[in-house]
Structure 1
Amino acid sequence: MLYLISLGLFSVEDMSLRALEVARKCECLFLEQYTTGLEFDIDRLSKLVGRPIKIVSRCDLEEGLQTILELAKNTDVGILVGGDALTATTHITIILEAKKQGIESKVIHGSSIYTAVAETGLQIYKFGRSTTLPKFKAISPYEVIETNRKLGWHTLVLLDIGMTAKEGLELLLELEREQRRNVISDDLEVVVCCRLGSEDAVIKYGKICDLLRLKEIDRYPAVIIVPGELHFVELEALERYRI
């Protein structure tokens, strides 16, 4: 049996009881960190589940996947993933390949940034397409924000691994200077969420120019939300975080 086991939003404490139970019964455990960038304490996690855990790279789960699948043909194998295991869209290919080879698989779901952003007060069903802002310049995030704003939808902007909220805002402004389509501006009000799920989580709402002055947002992991049309309840909720 092959299990994709979600570790939850931020730390080892975010694992569900079911995730912990399944991890403990697996003979082989692998930890994937390349899709989230979250730094779980592997020694603590290993003690918690009662067995050693091997960190695997993208190459291990793509080019070297067959090695893991061979193990899963004869024993219980778990792949530990930060957040929710299937939030990283590449992981569905693991399940599909397992099915082709007659290997049963199960997903143990967990908390994810996709639901945690509801803490801002923005309504989940009013989010449009999400996008990832890479460190290199890419126009697609800009275009996703543009489309969502025209439709009145909120945009969840996931930031590249290692990118702080401040760096993300600066990159969005840089894209606007290049594209000049009035999608992003210094006066645009956005929401910044840093380290959600942790004891020192930060949520701030305000104009980009004002947010960039805050030391608190120069942190990782983080996401940026560009609000669309706001319901009065959403606006009231956001006011709690206005700077």
Structure 2
Amino acid sequence: MFYLVGLGLGDATDITVKGLEIVRKAKRVYLEAYTSILTVGKEALEAFYGREIILADRDMVEQASDELMADADTDDIAFLVVGDPLGATTHTDLILRAVEKGLQYKVVHNASIMNAIGCCGLQLYNYGETVSIVFWEKDWQPESFYDKILINRERGMHTLCLLDIKMKEQTIENLMKGRPIYEPPRFLSASQACQQLLEIVKRRDADKVTDSDLTPDTVCVAVARVGASDQKIAAATLAEMCDLDMGSPLHSLVIPGHMHPLEGEMLKLFAVSDRVREFLEVVEKR
């Protein structure tokens, strides 16, 4: 059996009882190590699970599924994923490949940022399409995520923005020369994401601004290390968020749409300034 096991968002103890039983009896245990991270390393997981864990990078998952799933027809193979196993399309692809090989599979679900984002007080059923904000490079600065945020806001929906993670990346030079040298991991912060959003705002035609468009005064919400003991939530304007240090990764960002008074009341708990509190008090009184 090929198992995809969710680990949750915090540390080694967030695995479910069902997931832990699978890990402890599996022939091999892999840890997907590029779409997200836990607050603890592989060694802490191995100590708690009592099992050796094999790190599975992007190349292994996407190009070496035969190795990953070897013996899954006769033995249990566990593939561990931070959050929920189906929070990324890569893992759906793994299921399809397992089926193509005639293998049985089971998914053990767990908490992910997709539902844990409710911690900020904005109701889950009021969210629209989730977007990803990527690191901008000097010659590559895409803006498509901004337009999706506006579409959500036009519908009165909140937007969860997942922020870019760079794991085991190579420079163009090392890639072309075939040198197995990788750049240090990078994680897009909430402040960097807001800086990019405000840069897009500056580029857009100011004469065509609508109520759905973002401005430096738009209230947004940053969350960091959701599910961990040092979880942090902050509600600030986009301009304020550009200078706000949310600490170590992972960060996510929410751009609210139309807010119910209870959402405003809850969000006020995390306001970083009087300006934001005053705005949310108006929301409460609607």
Q: TM-score band, normalised by the shorter chain? A: over 0.9
Give the alignment of 1:11-160 within 5 angstroms: 11-38=11-38, 40-136=40-136, 137-160=141-164
The CA deviation at 1:218 is: 4.8
Q: How far off is 1:172 after superposition? A: 1.1
Residue 170 of structure 1 is matched in structure 2 by: 195
CA distance in 1, matches of 2:52, 2:30: 9
Partners of 1:100 and 1:55 in 2: CA distance = 24
Shift of 1:178: 2.6
Q: Distance in 1 between matches of 2:38 and 2:50?
A: 21
Contact 2:7–2:82 (Cα < 8 Å) also in 1: yes
Distance 1:168 1:150 in 2: 21
Q: Deviations over 1:29-61 (max 9, x none)?
A: 111011114454211211222221110111101
**1:83-102 CA distances to partner (integer Å, 9 max, x unpaired)?**
11110121111111111221
C-alpha displacement at 1:74, in angstroms? 2.3
> What CA distance in whole angstroms lies between the structure 2 residues aligned with 1:39 and 1:91?
21
* 8 A Cα contact 1:2 1:103, kept in partner: yes
What amino acid is aligned across from residue 2 of structure 2 in structure 1?
L
Given that 1:158 and 1:223 are in contact with CA atoms closer than 8 Å, whether structure 2 keeps it comes out as: yes
Deviation per residue, 1:142-195 (Å, 9 max, x gap): 011010011100000000011111111111112222334642221110111111
Query: Where in structure 2 are there 5+ consecutive unaligned residues?
Result: 166-186, 273-286
Query: Which has more radius of gyration?
Result: 2
Alpha-carbon separation, structure 1, partners of 2:198 and 2:149:
13
Matching residue of 1:223: 252
User: What percent of counterpart residues are identical?
Assistant: 32
Tell me if 1:186 matches 2:211: no
Q: Does structure 1 retain, via aligned residues, the 8 Å contact 2:39–2:228?
A: no
Distance 1:101 1:11 in 2: 33
Asked if 2 retains the 8 angstrom alpha-carbon contact of 1:192 and 1:225, the reply is: yes
CA RMSD of aligned residues (A): 1.4
Q: Which runs of 5+ in 1 are unaligned?
A: none
Q: Contact 1:153–1:229 at 8 Å: present in 2 too?
A: yes
The one-letter amino acid of 1:236's match is E
**Worse-superposed segment, 59-68 or 38-47:** 38-47
TM-score normalised by the chain length of structure 1: 0.95
TM-score, scaled relative to structure 2: 0.81
Number of aligned residue pairs: 242
Cα gap change, 1:134 to 1:38, in 2 (>3 Å): farther
On the 8 A contact 2:10/2:229 being kept in 1, the answer is no
